[in-house]
């Protein structure tokens, strides 16, 4: 009797497995293409040299082709002192550039507010931002670490900067390795005061450890996806910038990171990321995506050398 019961359970399990596997269907999702929207990437700074506003058109969700260029737009930035800066697309590549008359001339000035104006295809879009303060970088250090807690052996870096006293300062810590800006979703390293969010009781302190060490970027070995490379090796050039950003800019980057790293068991439905690019025609159905920010920037750079 036990053998018969076992056989019955086996047959039932087999049939259940077959039924489940036979229910797999390929579903083709037919999404409406939608109207392309103006996409704006505009981050101006107080650093000397040219400033760029990149304009593109959005694509459909499943369209992997390059974004269409926005040509023929009029792009201007005006500061709170009445100074007007014109951005031109001399190369017809959708990158609108302001070029200073002198190499040392700067557009961004600490404490000033800036208004971006884009006239395109019969509509005018505007956005505003203010250049807030940013802390100085005390040091950019590195050390060799043995393999531990699943992290590979190699050189690890850490940046030390103290949040300025007074709550509400926000920063974007940007990392460059051998001249390449590390811009994956998981590479976005932002701070609210010295921590991850408002109300953390970390005002005026050094950035907390996860932010200080957020400049260590892990990637797969291109020859073996099962191997994770160390953040840095001998001879690597490491540059770190701290951008001051507004509180709204902080939440924009936080939402961007959430969408770019969204996946796995706890994935959430895709949602639109906030934007401060507003169509000035209230009767128009044309919208814009992207962001305009004005930032003060501090920079530290080093080359990894054997200890």
Under a CB-based contact definition with an 8 Å cutoff, are residues 85 and 98 in contact? yes
State phi, psi for 284 to the nearest 5 degrees: -90, 145
Under a CB-based contact definition with an 8 Å cutoff, are residues 119 and 74 in contact? yes
pLDDT at 13: 45
Express as a percent the part of the chain with pLDDT over 70: 87
Model's pTM, two decimal places? Answer: 0.86
The string of pLDDT tens digits covering residues 228-242 is 999 999 999 999 999
Q: How far is CA 298 from each of CA 109, 130, 182, 238, rounded to the nearest angstrom? A: 13, 16, 17, 14
The string of pLDDT tens digits covering residues 25-54 is 555 555 555 689 999 999 999 999 999 999
The string of pLDDT tens digits covering residues 72-90 is 999 999 999 999 999 999 9
Beta strand 288-295 pairing with 38-45? parallel
Q: How far is CA 194 from each of CA 133, 156, 226, 305, rounded to the nearest angstrom? A: 14, 21, 34, 29
Interval 240-261 mean pLDDT: 96
Rounded Cα gap, residues 279 and 275, in angstroms: 11
């Amino acid at each position: 009797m036990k053998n018969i019961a076992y056989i019955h359970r086996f047959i039932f399990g087999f049939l259940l497995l077959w039924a489940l596997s036979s229910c797999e269907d390929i579903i083709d999702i037919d999404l409406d293409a939608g109207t392309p929207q103006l996409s704006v990437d505009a981050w101006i700074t107080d650093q000397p040299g040219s400033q760029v506003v990149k304009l593109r058109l959005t694509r459909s969700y499943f369209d992997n082709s390059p974004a269409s260029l926005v040509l023929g737009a009029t792009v201007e930035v005006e500061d709170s002192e009445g100074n007007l800066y014109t951005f031109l697309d001399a190369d017809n590549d959708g990158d609108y550039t302001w070029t200073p008359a002198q190499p040392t001339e700067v557009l961004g000035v600490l404490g000033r507010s800036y208004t971006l104006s884009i006239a395109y295809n019969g509509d005018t879009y505007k956005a505003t931002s203010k250049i807030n303060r940013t802390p100085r970088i005390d040091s950019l250090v590195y050390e060799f670490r043995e393999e531990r807690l699943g992290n590979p052996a190699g050189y690890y870096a850490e940046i030390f900067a103290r949040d300025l006293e007074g709550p509400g300062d926000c920063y974007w810590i940007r990392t460059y390795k051998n001249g390449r800006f590390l811009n994956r979703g998981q590479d976005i390293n932002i701070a609210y005061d010295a921590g991850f969010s408002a109300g953390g009781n970390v005002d005026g302190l050094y950035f907390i450890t996860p932010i200080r060490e957020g400049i260590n970027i892990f990637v797969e070995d291109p020859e073996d996806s099962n191997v994770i490379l160390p953040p840095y090796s001998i001879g690597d050039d490491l540059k770190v910038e701290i951008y001051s950003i507004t509180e709204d800019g902080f939440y924009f980057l936080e939402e961007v990171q959430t969408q770019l790293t969204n996946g796995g068991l706890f994935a959430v439905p895709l949602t639109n990321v906030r934007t401060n690019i507003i169509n000035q025609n209230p009767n128009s159905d044309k919208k814009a995506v992207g962001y305009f920010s004005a930032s003060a920037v501090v920079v530290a750079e080093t080359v990894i050398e054997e200890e």
